[in-house]
Amino acid sequence: MRLTVVGNPGHRRVGLFAAAAVRAGLPEPDLLAWHDVLSGAPLRLAPGTAVRIESPGEDAEVDRLLRGAASPAAHGEIVGGRAWYAGLARGLARIADAARESDARLLADPAEILTMFDKAACHARLLAARIPVPPALPGSPSGWAQLRSWLDEAGWRRVFVKPCHGSSASGVIALQLGSGGRILATTSVELSGGRLFNSLRVRHYRDERDVAAIVDQLAPDGLQVQRWLPKAGLDGRVVDLRVVTVGGEPSHVVVRGSRSPMTNLHLGGVRGDLCALRAAAGRHYAEGLATCRAVAACFPGSLHTGVDLMFAAGWRSHAVAEVNAFGDLLPGLLVDGRDTYDAEVAALLASERAGVAA
């Protein structure tokens, strides 16, 4: 089997997958740089190669090309989400064309990647499949004034406000509206000089003018507003799960715990004890994994998915917060001695053997 990875040279995701391929006795994968995909360079794939599409993130020039901007964004700046998404769609279309010309096999359906990177579209797909998801407002508010109006009409006082095309909690706001005009917005967004930046520190905004400024800047690129599901707790922290499915089956699970509403590990979240969580959830844990299988079935053209699974306080119910196209980066997490990339390569080899046998 010959493999090609579409990714950014030197990126750890590319390196981790390549190492897994070599461990499985395969040649090191070829690399097709995102920069070449987005800059219009000729794309050449080896005939019959299996093509893994990796995240284009963490490269300033690639980000600029995705957004079609004249200059790179400042470090950590949150800007141009809708343009970024349009650039991703154009890049994926070029990859798909190159794969057809070379009779190559894509390991993720570009249309499915785009759905996972559109929180509203992803929510709608899961809802149509009767997968439990938090209730969401039916549209994207144009700004803070409309968001406040819609929340008042719905009677919702606690919500998560999410950029439609964001990832890694970029721009996400955990919003609470109290009596007497009180407000609390918990977010990693740093408001600086009228611009928005990602921060590794979770902040709390209580001045409505600051919250309005953040929402008004995020809104033109699209927002999804989900009702806040109070999460179950473990060891004094709220917890949720990142469940990586491979070939439709849950493969690797990490517990993410936090003392803030944001459980992302890069924002101060910590890995929790999966055995303790399974004991606390009881039979509901298996039900949650069954939901993750159903999520994977919604994306049959994707070798893997990263499902963010939340258990409600009391453990008796659960919901899927979102699905991640590139959600398999869980370094150091081994199951039966294999990391997520080992599991994906093994699934590819098993699929190839099954095809030969048939």
> What 8-state DSSP symbol labels residue 92?
H
Find, among 83, 196, 216, 225, the residue nearest to 142 by Cα.
216
Predicted pLDDT of residue 148:
97
User: 54-64: per-residue pLDDT in tens?
Assistant: 999 999 999 99
Predicted pLDDT of residue 209:
96
What beta strand segments (E) does the chain contain? 3-7, 30-33, 50-53, 105-106, 158-163, 173-177, 183-192, 195-205, 223-227, 233-234, 237-246, 249-258, 270-271, 304-311, 318-324
Confidence at 357, pLDDT banded by 50, 70, 90: low
Nearest-angstrom CA–CA distance, 301 and 280: 34
Three-state secondary-structure class, residue 201? strand
CA torsion sign, 68 to 73 to 78 to 79?
Answer: negative
| pLDDT higher than 80, residue 350 | yes
Instruction: Identify the burial level of 308 via C-beta atoms within 10 angstroms of its C-beta, where 0-12 means exposed, 13-18 middle and 19 or more buried.
Output: buried
Separation in Å, CA 309 to CA 22, 113, 265, 319, 330: 32, 19, 15, 6, 15
Confidence at 27, pLDDT banded by 50, 70, 90: very high
User: 291-347: per-residue pLDDT in tens?
Assistant: 999 999 999 999 999 999 999 999 999 999 999 999 999 999 999 999 999 999 999
User: 136-150: per-residue pLDDT in tens?
Assistant: 999 999 999 999 999
